[in-house]
């Protein structure tokens, strides 16, 4: 099984790219106040359509993305494309798309940014993880926290159930060890059936990948710049 991860920079809203959006996506795009948020959203949608078109042998404008939320039906859920499993994430200057043919997948990229990481850790980390986190030297805390966060959010995103799966129900290996689910109190996550990887750590970023199943995927990271340019 393969798992491809495509990386893109947020692309500006050219007429050709905007034309790829459906009506619901277009109103989400218009609803973002900040230009960078518009561009991240647009780039995510463009990536899904462009990569799905390559995989499925159809035109990008014929790719239908279903974003209905599993909880409330509103169009803010994990995106779904018939015939593929996809996950999208953006932070700072990066947008990532992970895709497999059939295994549920989650990807999360996080810019290591100024944040009250001690407060966030109490919400996101399990008691066992917190015990480790408290021993991290102050200068390393931000990096360690965003390593945990990106890994855990990747697992939560692979469930397709978003934040209804609390991150604190998962215990992962320590931030400076290879990523693995040690134990799970969330019924949606079976600790022995999650493959995890850290993605190419761009300077100042952390990125995690989770693929559900017992087969280890072959992970390939790709640059989507040419793909985006070909569509826009």
Pick between residue 67 and residue 168 the one whose CB is nearest to Zn ion: 67
Rounded to the nearest whole angstrom, what is the least distance from the CB of residue 27 to Zn ion in the complex? Answer: 16
Pick between residue 76 and residue 122 the one whose CB is nearest to Zn ion: 76
Q: Determine the Cα–Cα distance for residues 51 and 218; give it in Å rounded to an integer.
A: 17
Binding stretches for Zn ion (CB under 5 A): 69, 71-72, 74
Q: Are 49 and 6 in contact (CB under 8 A)?
A: no
Pick between residue 78 and residue 206 the one whose CB is nearest to Zn ion: 78
Rounded to the nearest whole angstrom, what is the least distance from the CB of residue 78 to Zn ion in the complex? Answer: 10
**Whole-Å CA distances, 178 to 118, 171, 181, 206, 223:** 22, 13, 10, 13, 24
Residue number with the smallest Cβ distance to Zn ion: 69
Rounded to the nearest whole angstrom, what is the least distance from the CB of residue 91 to Zn ion in the complex? Answer: 21
Pick between residue 73 and residue 192 the one whose CB is nearest to Zn ion: 73
Residue 192 tokens, joined: 């022995």
Rounded to the nearest whole angstrom, what is the least distance from the CB of residue 69 to Zn ion in the complex? Answer: 3
Q: Are 184 and 145 in contact (CB under 8 A)?
A: no
**Nearest residue to 223 (alpha-carbon basis) of 44, 106, 96:** 96
């Amino acid at each position: 099984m393969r798992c491809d991860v495509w990386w893109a920079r947020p692309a500006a809203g050219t007429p050709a790219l905007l034309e790829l959006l459906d009506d619901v996506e277009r109103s989400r795009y218009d609803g973002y106040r900040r230009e960078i948020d518009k561009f991240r959203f647009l780039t995510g949608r463009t990536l899904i359509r462009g990569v799905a078109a390559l995989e499925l042998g159809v035109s990008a404008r014929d790719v239908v993305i279903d974003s209905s939320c599993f909880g409330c039906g509103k169009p803010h859920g994990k995106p779904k494309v018939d015939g593929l499993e996809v996950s999208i994430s953006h932070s700072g200057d990066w947008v990532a798309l992970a895709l497999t043919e059939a295994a549920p997948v989650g990807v999360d990229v996080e810019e290591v940014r100024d944040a009250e990481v001690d407060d966030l850790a109490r919400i996101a980390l399990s008691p066992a993880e917190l015990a480790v986190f408290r021993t991290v030297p102050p200068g390393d805390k931000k990096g360690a926290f965003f390593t945990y966060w990106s890994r855990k959010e990747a697992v939560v995103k692979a469930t397709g159930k978003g934040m209804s799966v609390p991150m604190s129900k998962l215990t992962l290996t320590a931030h400076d060890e290879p990523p693995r689910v040690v134990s799970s109190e969330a019924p949606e996550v079976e600790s022995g059936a999650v493959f995890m990887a850290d993605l190419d750590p761009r300077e100042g970023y952390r990125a995690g990948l989770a693929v559900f199943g017992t087969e280890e995927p072959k992970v390939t990271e790709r640059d989507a710049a040419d793909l985006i340019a070909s569509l826009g």
